[in-house]
Amino acid sequence: LTAASGAYHFDTEQVDVTGPVQFSAADGYRITTTNVSIDLKSRLATGTGGVTGAIPAGTFSADRIIADLGERSV
């Protein structure tokens, strides 16, 4: 997981990243998105700046992405 910079808001326990966020795993999963907000209390991450990626079954794109970090689901 890489991102150039982000802002942590102590009062809301949220992290905001405006630039690209890239996730890649050794098993062939790759996701790139922007405008990411991570709510550390609820363990939800949302990307609203579009998303592209690749999984072993092929490639995909969408307008936004929501990830439940606790459940490990996208």
pLDDT the model gives residue 1: 79
Residue 69 has pLDDT above 90, yes or no: no
Q: Rounded CA gap, 47 and 15, in Å?
A: 12
pLDDT the model gives residue 44: 95
Whether this prediction's pTM lies above 0.85 is answered by no
Residues near 47 by beta carbon (within 8 Å), at least 6 away in sequence:
21, 33, 34, 35, 36, 64, 65
